Amino acid sequence: MKHLLGIEHLSGEEIEKIVDHAVKLKGDRGRQSDQVLLGETWAMIFTKSSTRTRVSFEVGLNELGARPMFLNANDVQLGRGEPIKDTARVLGRMVHGIIIRTYDQQDVVDFAEFGKIPTINALTDEEHPCQILADLLTIKEKLGSWAGKRVAFFGDGDCNMGRSWAWAAKRLGFELVIAAPKEFQPHSSFMERLGDAPVTITDDPVMGAKEADVLYTDTWVSMGKEAEAEGRLKVLAPFQINSKIVSLANPGAIVQHCLPAYRGKEITEEVLESRSDEVFQQAENRLHAQKAVLHYLALNR
């Protein structure tokens, strides 16, 4: 049985297969409905807020014939301390798949182990694989391919997005530059686990932007880090994507943001609005990429 626990756990071939299928599903949308999940119910347990992930999964499950069952973690006994492994064993006997957004990566791993149903990581503190698959789809559409391209990630390089990008670079072989202040560079234990990968780290935003084909950013204050907001905003300020940074990148470079965006912080209003077609195409692609993930898991269980 296959799960989507992280980009770490996918091969390059699997990533390519999912993105290629997403291209097809996007083209076929509304013309053809391939209801591989007909009659199924998929549970969605979210302990953190979400707009894009929740809506794209609910719509995607519907389009594939399944009923999404959204469960706010605080409304189920999990929020009152029922162990994950018990919740997973109950759901595993009733629903056909599970999509989880939470803090601890181990919770997603435990759901997969004890639930024995396809399990999708819809964001943890460790990784955000669904977002990366949509981003790769957008890069393919906008730039033709990620092969030979340089992706520059600006901001908190030690967050879920930075880590998922690093695994994507390792699996697919494109170049990733993480431009972050020392305090927010990927942890040495993560870099050891990543091993040999085409990933470079710099604390110089100008170096980060040079020769980049994709300028990527994310909030400086990830969910769960709100108490650190003041310090983070100060240290990360030089790593904003603004018109100067855009002017240093390769001609034809695209700007990407996983959203939600905090204008005037990690990206300026001017850059976000002038590149809104790129950023909102990326947001739309969450739907198509996740439908491809659901297909992939449905066919491999």
User: Known catalytic residue: 218?
Assistant: yes
Among 102, 131, 160, 217, binds ligand CP (CB under 6 A): 131
User: Known catalytic residue: 258?
Assistant: yes
Chain residues 189-248 in contact with ligand NVA, contact rule CB under 6 A: 218-219, 222-223
Q: How many positions of this chain bind ligand NVA (CB under 6 A)? A: 10
- With the C-alpha atoms ordered 202, 131, 172, 244, is the resulting torsion angle positive or negative? negative
Count the neighbouring beta carbons within 10 Å of the beta carbon of residue 26.
17
**Is there binding between residue 53 and ligand CP (CB under 6 A)?**
yes
- Cis link prior to 260 (omega < 30° from 0)? yes
Q: Which of 21, 52, 96, 101 is catalytic?
A: 101
| 219 touches, from ligand CP, ligand NVA, none (C-beta below 5 to 8 Å by class) | ligand NVA
User: Known catalytic residue: 163?
Assistant: no
Q: Are 180 and 239 in contact (CB under 8 A)?
A: yes
> Left (φ > 0), alpha (ψ -120 to 50) or beta: where does 150 sit?
beta
Chain residues 146-185 in contact with ligand NVA, contact rule CB under 6 A: 159-161
**Is there binding between residue 258 and ligand NVA (CB under 6 A)?**
yes
User: Known catalytic residue: 28?
Assistant: no
Which CB atom, from 123 or from 245, has the smaller least distance to ligand CP?
123
Q: Which of 21, 107, 131, 159 is catalytic?
A: 131
Beta bridge partners of 154: 179, 217
**Residues with Cβ within 8 Å of residue 292, at least 6 apart in sequence:** 18, 19, 21, 22, 25, 133
Which residues of the chain form contacts with ligand NVA (CB under 6 A)?
A: 123, 128, 159-161, 218-219, 222-223, 258
